[in-house]
Structure 1
Amino acid sequence: MRFTDRVQFYESNDRYDTDNPDGKPIPVGEPVIANVTHLGVNRSMQLFGNLNTERLVVRLIQPFNEDWGILRVNDSETYYALETGVYPLKIDGYIVGETQNE
């Protein structure tokens, strides 16, 4: 498994904040190295029952212990929100789905 992607976590901006009037997501911590893959059509149907959202599997070498709401992969324009997490002994993993955050 190759860890070649950079993931930046952000605070969730569900409500208006006077300290952040433009509403752009606020980064949480530094970008981390991750392995990012697409969930796949069959697995997405098995787990979630639909294909309406692009889903990714994000695996981290080190746990990210700060509170976050959304993330971006490799500085793309697309934000992803947590759908479910997997926390085995060695590598934390998240299944995230595309969100309409901008």
Structure 2
Amino acid sequence: MRFDTLVDFISEGKKRYIPEQGYSTGTELVTSRMANVTDLGTNRSVQLFGDVDTSRKIIRLMVPVGTNWSYCKIGGKKYRQVTATNALKGHSMIVGEYHG
């Protein structure tokens, strides 16, 4: 299994107004990790969620991200965590596309 995709984990804070800069987005990069990222198959998507959603991905990491994060970015697209699993050989999570 290759860990060849860079995944950025981002935390969303509250928007706030800074007089010199205007409104701040309130986002902060928590960490960046190399991960194995694959698409969730249609059969598995139907088994787990009861529908076919092609925007879901599986992210496999060696260790879980320890801090709280709001969404992750893979190749410029935003994804939110749907479910996660810890195993002896690593950590995996299913994420769905996030439009926010």
- TM-score, with normalisation over the residues of structure 1? 0.82
Q: Could you list the structure 1 runs, at least 4 aligned residues long, displaced by more than 4 angstroms after superposition.
A: none
Matching residue of 1:50: 51
Superposed CA RMSD in Å reads 2.0
The runs of 5 or more residues in structure 2 that have no matched partner are: none
Residue 47 of structure 1 deviates from its aligned partner by 0.7
Residue-pair matches, total:
96
Alignment match, 2:30: 28
Alpha-carbon distance between aligned partners in 1 of 2:17 and 2:59, rounded to the nearest angstrom: 30
More strand per residue: 1 or 2? 2
Kept in 2: contact 1:53–1:98 (CA 8 A): no
SS of alignment partner, residue 47 of structure 1: helix
The amino acid across from 2:33 in the alignment is V
Alignment of 1:10-89 (within 5 A): 10-12=10-12, 16-18=14-16, 21-23=23-25, 25-29=27-31, 31-52=32-53, 54-73=55-74, 76-89=75-88
User: Which has the greater radius of gyration?
Assistant: 2
